[in-house]
Each structure stands twice: as structure tokens, then as C-alpha cells.
Structure 1
């Protein structure tokens, strides 16, 4: 199963999700901290450039950071440079990048293996692949009303897929209270951002005791 892409049809859902998930910038700051100074980086599924902004706010300075996304709407807000293309057919030469990042993007693919092979193809010798993805047990406090949809690149399955393509793989799980939802409207926004229909989210939010701190579970995967 793949998470549907609605970034062109409903970009406000993505933006609502970023606002409703205060822990998201911390993830991108962690990714930015792994990037080498002076390297060339490809951000696959870059959306509106949250990684680019995290890099600009951090201490590591890649020589080049290129965003790539299928959504023209998302790319219009990206600070650039950015390219509209698909993760399964990267428009770059072999060995063009020192790092390829895929942060919560391969969950949109029915089969992530072609995208993993493309990521390896465009990496230089010794290059780094960085992926982030959520676990089946993400947001356990909301389990009575919502559970993450299963995808082909969940934190439980992604490491095995990456190991089939890359030689050295390190998995860093995360499991921490990261998102504070103070009231029912915040719960509603959080659920809508996770593809729950608005009317259903409005009803579900009434069943959640607030204020609530949500535990985020997933993994950061580093491969060479």
C-alpha cells in the first residue's frame, strides 16, 4: 500500500500537517546534521524545501542541495534549486551526488525498490543514502481513533529493503513524545494532515482527551 499523493490537489493538507507536527523540524535538523560540508545532496520528495531551510539554519554547508518532487505546487514554494521528476527515474548522471535524502517520501511508492536502485545509481562511490520513515505504532495515543496506514516503506520493513540495495546499513530508531495537541481543533488538524476526511476528523477529535502529547515512532536509516 502507498500513501496517496494529493500535494497538487490539496496542498493545504501538507501545510496543515507541518503546522500540526512541531516535531517535524527536529527530524529535518537531524538530517541536515548528517550532511557533509562541501558535498552535493539530492533531496528526493523535497516538497516545499523544509530540508533546505533546515540546512540554511544549521552549521553544515553542502556545496549543492537539489530538491526533487513530482508536485509542481510544492516546488513553487521551494527556495531552489529544484527539479520536477519521479524518484524512480532520477534525471541525473551516475555518481552525481554525495548524499541522497528520502524523508517520509518512499511511503508514497507502491514498490520502493526501483527508487532505492536509482538512489544508489546517482550516488558517488562511498556516498550516503539517508531515509526517514514512520513505524506501524506511530502516534499510539491516538490508536482508538487513528492508526498509520501500512506502506511498503514503513520503519519495520524499510531496513530490509535498503539492505537489499546497499552494502552497509545503520538503523537509528526514534520513539519520543514530540507533538503537543492542546485542544480538539489541534487534534482535528493532526488527523486531517494524516488523510482522515475532515468530517470524520472533527468527530474523532471529540473522543480524544486533551491536552495530549503524541509519541512519534519511526527510524532514520543510513546506508552506504
Structure 2
């Protein structure tokens, strides 16, 4: 199933996750990979985490709330119908956003359309086995673009696919308030998140699992 988008009505949920050290490390690593590319489109750019690391980024998002916080250049638009001509970007990224779409292939095909020959597509997503230490109170639901299926989906559009996975203890939640906030970023309602957090012993280190998936032609 696709993950609901609530960025206009609940921007705090997005901010709780996007400001974490683990999120910043993700964007720093991605910026390193994008350094050789002069013009990058960040699809589902949010409020500009990638742009903070990569000044060559053009942000695109369907949420006006997110775009207001993103530095220019920024464009309102949808991943499945990009408002750009063919072949105008050197790289296209989709960071933790393709699982919002009922059919991620539409967005992946659009990404290829706006890439120049030899350009790079990068998708980032989590695994269904993410954060196993929270299994007693929360488990990730299967989505339309999990790390388990993401390489095959990207491979339906791009001839060459490279996968860089992560599976390591990357996030430490120091107290129950931190556990509650983490659960809120995973779409648990705040009151329910607080109750679940009360059942977790802290500090708690979470194993983060997911992947960067690179596509090229």
C-alpha cells in the first residue's frame, strides 16, 4: 500500500524525522555521490535537506508547505508528471518518497525522461525489517516501494541498477519522549505513540535498514 502524504496538514511529523542525525548522514552521503553532477532534480524535496548539502539541486514537491521552506530554485509539481522537458537534468533523486505513490513506476519513468543520456537516478527507501528493536510496539507496514522490491522496480526502467544497502545500529533513542517522537514520524498517532513508548526500555539503539538504489542507462 502507498504511505499517506500529510505534509501540509502535519509538517511537524516530517520535521521530527528529517532533523535527526541519521537523516543528515543520509543526505551527506547522497550529496557526495551527486557532486559530479551539475544539475540535480530532487523529487519530493521536502523543506530542503538535500539542497542544504548540494547547492546544484532544484527542488520539486507537491506540498506548498514544504516548498515555502525550500530555497530557490523550487517548483510545485508531481513526481508522476514532471513539469520539465526531456533530458534537462544530470541526476534525479527520490528520497523516501516513492512509497507515497500507488504506482512508483510512473515516477521512475518520468525521472528517466528528464535525465540526459548517461544521467543518474537515485531512490532511497527503508526496509520492511527496519527498526526491529521496536517490534513489540511497532512494525513497518509493507509499501509500494520498500527496499526489498525497489531494485527490481528501478530495473524495469533503467538498464543498470546498483544497490547500496545499510543495516547497522544508527539511531539511539535516549528516553521515552524520543521513542514517542520516533513513532510519530512513522505515522503513529501522538497519544498512541506515547502509550507505546511507555512500554519501551530506554535508552534504545535502533538498527536502521534500507537502501540507496541507483539507476542508469
Please indicate, yes or no, whether the TM-score normalized by the shorter chain is above 0.5: yes
Task: Provide the residue aligned with 2:101 in structure 1.
Answer: 109
CA distance in 2, matches of 1:75, 1:199: 29
CA contact (8 A) 1:3 1:149 kept: no
Task: Provide the residue aligned with 2:200 in structure 1.
Answer: 208
Number of paired residues? 216
TM-score (structure 2 length as normaliser): 0.97
- 5 Å matches for 1:17-96? 17-19=17-19, 21-37=20-36, 39-55=38-54, 64-96=56-88
TM-score (structure 1 length as normaliser): 0.94
1:190 aligns with 2:182: yes
Flag structure 1 segments of 5+ consecutive residues without an equivalent: 57-63
Give the C-alpha shift of residue 22 in structure 1. Answer: 2.2
Give the C-alpha shift of residue 132 in structure 1. Answer: 0.6
Give the C-alpha shift of residue 17 in structure 1. Answer: 1.9
What is the SS of the residue equivalent to 1:95? coil
CA contact (8 A) 2:17 2:23 kept: no
1:10 aligns with 2:10: yes
Give the C-alpha shift of residue 38 in structure 1. Answer: 5.3
CA distance in 1, matches of 2:6, 2:66: 11
CA distance in 1, matches of 2:81, 2:68: 21
CA contact (8 A) 1:134 1:218 kept: yes
Task: Provide the residue aligned with 1:170 in structure 2.
Answer: 162
Give the C-alpha shift of residue 197 in structure 1. Answer: 0.7
CA distance in 2, matches of 1:109, 1:22: 26
Cα RMSD (Å) of the superposition? 1.0
- Aligned pair partner of 1:125 in 117, 132, 145: 117
CA distance in 2, matches of 1:36, 1:126: 15
CA distance in 1, matches of 2:151, 2:37: 28
Give the C-alpha shift of residue 36 in structure 1. Answer: 3.6
CA distance in 2, matches of 1:66, 1:132: 17
CA contact (8 A) 2:121 2:214 kept: yes
Flag structure 2 segments of 5+ consecutive residues without an equivalent: none
Give the C-alpha shift of residue 65 in structure 1. Answer: 1.6
Give the C-alpha shift of residue 11 in structure 1. Answer: 0.5
Give the C-alpha shift of residue 129 in structure 1. Answer: 0.3
CA contact (8 A) 1:172 1:220 kept: yes
What is the SS of the residue equivalent to 1:23? helix
- Could you list the per-position Cα deviations for residues 3-29 of structure 1 after superposition, in whole angstroms to 9, with x for gaps in the alignment? 11000001111112224x320101111
Displaced runs of 4 or more, over 3 A: none
- Could you list the per-position Cα deviations for residues 85-126 of structure 1 after superposition, in whole angstroms to 9, with x for gaps in the alignment? 000000000000000001101010111011010000000001
